[in-house]
Amino acid sequence: MASLIESCWQYLITHFSDFQLACIGSFLLHESVFFLSGLPFIYFERRGYLSKYKIQTKNNTPVAQEKCIMHLLLYHFCVNLPVMICSYPVFKVMGMRSSLPLPSWKVVLTQIIFYFVLEDFVFYWGHRILHTKWLYQHVHSIHHEYATPFGLTSEYAHPAEILFLGFATIIGPALTGPHLMTLWLWMVLRVLETVEAHCGYHFPWSPSNFIPLYGGSDFHDYHHRLLYTKSGNYSSTFVYMDWIFGTDKGYRKLKALKSCEPEAKTEWLK
């Protein structure tokens, strides 16, 4: 398996420059993973499939879904792509490389864990700041246009927010100067996580059912349903920051009440 990956990587670095791989390649990879993972949830919502796993009963209209897609394409080509191109010299200075040999799985795993921990910390404070009155009204409210989120709404936001919170995603790689393969893996995992958090469905196989402290769709859906001053649940992937600062109290209280409902009904039937 390792030799196959190295052979594929050898092909890439032979036929494409570092700039093409780091900028155009990263952009195409992001778009592919984002839309391929997010579009199915639009289909599920329109068709009513898997409705028993849907967190909210309300559905978005096709017009609202199409508006989201059109805005995303505009943002991605006019904001994300230029940022990736402009960031290339920075990452080269920080030590990013694409040459062989590829890093060991221990190095990759260590760096990815570090990125998740650091991203959670930075994102929490950035997101919480965006929920102050002025910033929410002029910037973050765009992301909250969809009180019933679906996968693609994860990146539906004001361009200023894309840059502001995007800092949380790139700061880890900027500090460590990873191999491009590690950077791609980090980007794929981060995209899949944020799409899942906004998907609007809580499945039996959802990561939050198996990974300790993982927020997921149920945790973040609560954030979208409430008014900006009372929402809480500001974390990105893992919820330790909300737990430490008590900004998930409303969510935990609601979960506790829901868990008591079946017991209350059982006692009443007796």
The pLDDT tens digits along the chain (270 residues) read 678 999 999 999 999 999 999 999 999 999 999 999 999 999 999 999 999 999 999 999 999 999 999 999 999 999 999 999 998 888 888 889 999 999 999 999 999 999 999 999 999 999 999 999 999 999 999 999 999 999 999 999 999 999 999 999 999 999 999 999 999 999 999 999 999 999 999 999 999 999 999 999 999 999 998 866 678 999 999 999 999 999 999 999 988 887 776 544 333 334
What is the C-alpha to C-alpha distance for residues 232 and 131, in angstroms, rounded to an integer?
9
3-class SS of residue 48 = coil
Taking each helix axis from N to C end, the angle separating 180-197 and 26-47, rounded to the nearest 10 degrees, works out to 20
Q: What is the largest CA-CA distance in the chain?
A: 73
ω into residue 101 within 30 of 0, thus cis? yes
First-to-last C-alpha distance (Å) of the chain: 59
Other Cβ atoms within 10 Å of 57 Cβ, number: 7
State the Cα angle at 231 between 241 and 140, rounded to 5°: 90
Let me know how long the chain is: 270
- Which residue intervals of the chain are DSSP H helices? 2-15, 18-19, 26-47, 62-75, 81-94, 105-130, 133-138, 159-176, 180-197, 216-225, 240-245, 249-269
> Cβ neighbours of residue 98 under 8 Å, at least 6 residues apart?
12, 13, 18, 21, 22, 179, 180, 181
Cβ-contact 233, 215 below 8 angstroms: yes
Q: Are 48 and 60 in contact, with CB atoms under 8 Å apart?
A: no
Encoded amino acid at 210, one letter: F
**Bridge partners, residue 97, by sequence:** 179
Distance CA 97, CA 228 (A): 41
Between CA 46 and CA 61 the distance in angstroms is 8
Residue type, 37: S
Cα 48 to Cα 60: distance, rounded to the nearest angstrom: 12
